[in-house]
Amino acid sequence: MARGSTRPTSRDVAQAAGVSQAAVSLVLGDKWRGRVSEATAQRVREAARDLGYRPNLAARNLRLGRTRTVLLVVPALTTEFFAGVYTGATRVAAEHGFGVVLYPSPEGIGPAPDPFASAQAALDGVIASSMASDAVTAIRGEALPLVMLDSDPAESLGAATVNLDIADGVRQAAEHLLSLGHRRFLHLAADVPSWTFEIRARELAARLGEVPGTSVRTARSPISIEGAVAAAEAALSEPGPRPTAVICDDDQLAAGTYKAARRLGLRVPDDLSVTGLDDLALATAIDPELTTVRLDAELFGERGMRALLAVLEGREPEGGDIPVRLVVRGSTAPPGLP
């Protein structure tokens, strides 16, 4: 077809790829597995890309009775983590002709007004964080094909659950600090009623409880630097032997701990080791740079979207938690003298 002529059609793609229009429809509709070969599917995708072919989604959606729109419900966007989840989800969605609407719960956690006059009529499915599960119920999202992120698989509202291996991340942080010789710990815990934070507390207590002579205090804080400053300062000022290491549920809590330590005349890591969880940009902006557990937010979003596509197509979503990794930087060291 000559460049600059009318919009390419599926017939043009079929002719360029040397296949039938039916095969083009299967491949571009992501229904090809088990029907055409991987090589044929690749040839069709390349032909479509070379020709600049775009399917007529409006006509296809009318035919299928779908809007090809997914709602991603997250807590308020207080960090870049959920922006990464959105980026990953939209990348996969775009490959399959879907759009993603991002809906942060206005209060961060809790009920939220319905963003659509009728969510069930306007959406094909929902992906939601456990921290925004009340919002999902408020918009009747649980009545739609639903994938939950960071949620207890045994009690999930959704047809599928996608999790990061948070438990292993907490164990990695604890092992690192134990190997440095720390035995007195403070857990600066997010004051959020969510499964993901319950897992962190449970795994930390279990791992530290295995080592004789180890103690752990818990202080709770809202997920904000200001809240963490107050909570950490109060906890580190309590009577008795001071903790030598603080394990934080979130990088923002770790940044607040840095400020609290400075107010108390403590140096990180000489007097106090600190770990976080997320590996946000903040982790390398503070000094010393933060030892933290890296969570791949974009992969998390990708896996969530792939799981929803599987649910919509009646397939079994990919199983297994997404691995996480401790990144050791300058905020941890062996404990100083008592």
Digit-coded pLDDT (tens) for 189-198: 999 888 899 9
Tens digit of pLDDT for each residue in 74-109?
A: 886 667 898 899 999 999 999 888 989 888 765 544
80 burial via Cβ count (<10 Å: 0-12, 13-18, 19+): middle
DSSP 151: -
| 3-class SS of residue 295 | coil
Residues of the chain with confidence (pLDDT) below 50: 1-5, 57-65, 108-114, 116-121
Report the alpha-carbon distance of residue 278 to residue 294 in Å, rounded. 5
46 CB neighbour count, 10 Å cutoff: 13
Look at residues 128, 203, 164 and name the one whose alpha carbon lies nearest to residue 294: 164
Long-range interactions of 231-238: CB distance < 8 A, separation 24+:
231/188, 231/256, 231/260, 232/186, 232/188, 232/256, 232/257, 232/260, 232/261, 233/260, 233/263, 233/264, 235/186, 235/188, 236/186, 236/260, 236/261, 236/264, 236/266, 236/272, 237/264
- Count CA atoms within 13 Å of residue 329 on its CB side: 22
- Tell me the pLDDT tens digit for each residue of 276-320: 999 999 999 999 999 999 999 999 999 999 999 999 888 888 889
Q: What are the φ/ψ torsions at residue 59 (nearest 5 degrees)?
A: -65, -40
Q: How many CA atoms lie within 13 A of 272 on its CB side?
A: 28
Closest CA to 195 of 133, 125, 278: 133
Instruction: Give residue 141's pLDDT.
Output: 58
| pLDDT number for residue 331 | 97
pLDDT for residue 4: 42
What pLDDT score was predicted for residue 213?
A: 94
Tokens of 80: 């870049």
> What predicted TM-score, i.e. pTM, was given to this entire model?
0.76
Please report, for residues 87, 174, 273, 307, the alpha-carbon distance to residue 136 in angstroms, rounded to integers and kept in the order given.
20, 34, 38, 17
Residue type, 181: G
- Taking the mean position of all CA atoms in its chain, how far away is CA 38? 30
Residue whose C-alpha is closest to residue 278's, from 302, 245, 303, 253: 253
Residue among 197, 210, 143 nearest 170 (CA):
197
CA angle 210, 213, 215 (to 5 degrees): 80
- Give pLDDT, residue 338: 52
DSSP state of 237: T
Residues constituting the chain: 338
